[in-house]
Amino acid sequence: MRETDARLSIGEFSRLTWLSPKALRLYERRGLLMPDAVDEYTGYRRYRPSQAERARTIALLRRVGMPLERIGTVLDATADERRELLDAYRTDVVRAHERAVALLDGLADGLLEDRSASAENAPRVSSRDVAAQPFVSRTVRTTAADLPLHVERAAAELAQRAGAAVDRSGPLVIVYHGEVSWESDGPVEVRVPVTGRSSADGVEPAGAELFVDVPYGEVQFPTILRAFDAVRDAATHHTRRPSGSPREIYLDGDPFRCQVAQRYVRPRG
């Protein structure tokens, strides 16, 4: 068999590696697993069977929850470096497990009660008028697992770029321009408020906003989706119309004090 004949379609490679075509395309976008060839006319992707080992390594690391960015570092490391990286990640996993156990203890104590059983327990949606806000921003593509790391880095880079122009009284805003889940990667826009338009990348105009205060234990994926559902539904009731993309608003720099908000257009009359 000629070397070119050994190439597999994305469907065949998916069956070989137990990775979905959607996951393979995501890993391609992130530079973790590139097709051996892409037809310039049809866009069909071809893989070599020898790439299956790398694909399975990615799948195993994803199974233990490793973010894609860290997976790329592991794959490109030497054997000794890889061991150190895996040991460091093991430490992070233990700490994350301890945090999860603490949240479960809160659940057992009634901190996180089941609010989905009735409308009475649904998230409370409020409305407010919002002033215009200049901001600097950076757009990233990231899955839910990688989101906190990318937001932290983007916010730090934006604050450094803005310097003295950062508006310390304004919140950090994360705007979701696309779906973010375990396998969908946005895009997501990170916005840091600034005091003047001259140093801004854009200005959020004044308008009306619906928002939900997210309980401490729900400021994480996927529990935070309840809040997104609530503001989305409220933005389509009583002749309202959603305006723009939904966002998370982080107050006072606290990563566990969060609101989910949706701009909307008020009905006329």
- 3-76: which CATH topology? Multidrug-efflux Transporter Regulator; Chain: A; Domain 2 (1.10.1660)
8-state DSSP, 86? H
**pLDDT tens digits along 97-131:** 776 676 666 566 555 555 444 556 788 999 999 99
Residues of the chain with pLDDT under 50: 1-4, 115-117
pLDDT at 4: 47
Q: Which residues make Cβ contacts (< 8 Å) with residue 26, sequence separation at least 6?
A: 68, 143, 183, 184, 185
CA dist., res. 125 & res. 119, Å (int): 12
| Equal fold, 3-76 vs 119-265 | no
Gap between the Cα atoms of 191 and 48, Å rounded: 41
Superfamily of domain 119-265, CATH level 4: Regulatory factor, effector binding domain (3.20.80.10)
Cα–Cα separations (whole angstroms), residue 121 to 52, 217, 219, 235:
48, 16, 17, 19
Question: Position of tokens 């389509």?
Answer: 236
Tell me, what amino acid is at 223?
Answer: T
pLDDT digit string (tens) for 165-186? 999 889 999 999 999 988 899 9
Domain boundaries, the chain: 3-76, 80-112, 119-265
58 CB contacts (<8 Å, ≥6 apart)?
19, 27, 32, 33, 71, 75
